[in-house]
Structure 1
Amino acid sequence: MPLWQIHHPVGAYSEQDKRAFATDITAIYTAVGLPAFYVVVLFHEVPAADYYVGGEPSDATVRIVVKHLARHLDDPDRRRVMTERLDATLHPYTRDRKLHWEFHVEESPRDLWMIAGLWPPDPGTDAERAWAEANRPLPY
């Protein structure tokens, strides 16, 4: 599952912005065959008095932590392409709003991950395609 935690200034995003942002993020992963329900996006509003960058309060910074479990990329070229795709997806919600942004991606081992008591199916399998089609976990 990709888990996105978006730490942002208070009021940076409306409910409509958050929905659009989460939809754009989800599209990254469904485009490569992941079930939409794998994608979890959490928005965390942080007041400037609690948000420091370089030791100074910030009211214009977005910090994103992305955790990947379903897919891992070992090839440096594919990692670069993925990172640049994530960055491009962020632009309407960061650069275009004149916000400073930073993100990083962490990869967790698949064998430390379960959904609803089930081990997620291996990538590209019929079971994973069934999960994507049903948009929920299914016994297999």
Structure 2
Amino acid sequence: MPLYVLYHDADAFTTEEKKKIAKGITDAHVQATGIAPFLVKVVLHGGSDGDLYTGGEVDRKSLRLVGNVRRGRDTEHKRELLRLQFENLKAAKPDPAYNIRIHIQELEPDNVTLDGVHMPKPGSEEERRWTEAGRIVE
């Protein structure tokens, strides 16, 4: 937790570019929230030709990042997170023909488990222990 999924055309990125994007998504989340990188999961989902649509038409020039994150941060932190994620994707695909759309979906920490352990609330002492340990602490 969090889980980010980037939807893109199958030919949008090379393997090396994908690695940089995943690292950038992770770094942006860590910078905006202060959590440990080991908690950030990223899936890059390249659709085949004809899998991505905008307005009912095939769209080969869209990037859509969906972040499932814990509820509990203020608007300022969420906007900073969105800004950092946008900057990362814009750097990865500077072509102005590309549309970059990002949204976050907030999940209650009590509704998420990692290895059977409920997620701590943002900013909690438990979260600090996880971050310092670099692993889930029961």
Q: TM-score range by the shorter chain?
A: 0.7 to 0.9
- Once residues 73 and 123 of structure 2 are traced to their aligned partners in structure 1, the CA distance between those partners, rounded to angstroms, is 15
Moved over 4 A (4+): none
Deviation at 1:44, TM superposition (A): 0.8
Q: Is the 8 A contact 2:110 2:119 kept in 1?
A: no
CA-to-aligned-CA distance 1:3-37 (integer Å, 9 cap, x gap): 11111111211221111111111112323321212
The size of the alignment, in residue pairs, is 136
- Where do 5+ consecutive residues of structure 2 fail to align? none
Give me the CA root mean square deviation: 2.0
Instruction: Name the SS of the counterpart of 1:19 in structure 2.
Output: helix
- 5 Å-filtered alignment, 1:1-140, equals 1-31=1-31, 32-69=33-70, 71-75=71-75, 77-94=76-93, 96-98=94-96, 99-139=98-138
CA 1:138 to 1:23, structure 2 compared with 1: closer, same or farther past 3 Å?
Answer: same
- Where do 5+ consecutive residues of structure 1 fail to align? none
Given the two structures, how large is their TM-score scaled by the length of structure 2? 0.84
Given the two structures, how large is their TM-score scaled by the length of structure 1? 0.83
- Once residues 128 and 51 of structure 2 are traced to their aligned partners in structure 1, the CA distance between those partners, rounded to angstroms, is 43
What percentage of aligned pairs have identical amino acids? 28
Opposite residue 85 of structure 1, the aligned amino acid is: L
Deviation at 1:103, TM superposition (A): 1.5
CA-to-aligned-CA distance 1:66-117 (integer Å, 9 cap, x gap): 1112x53343x443333222222221123x1342221211101111011111
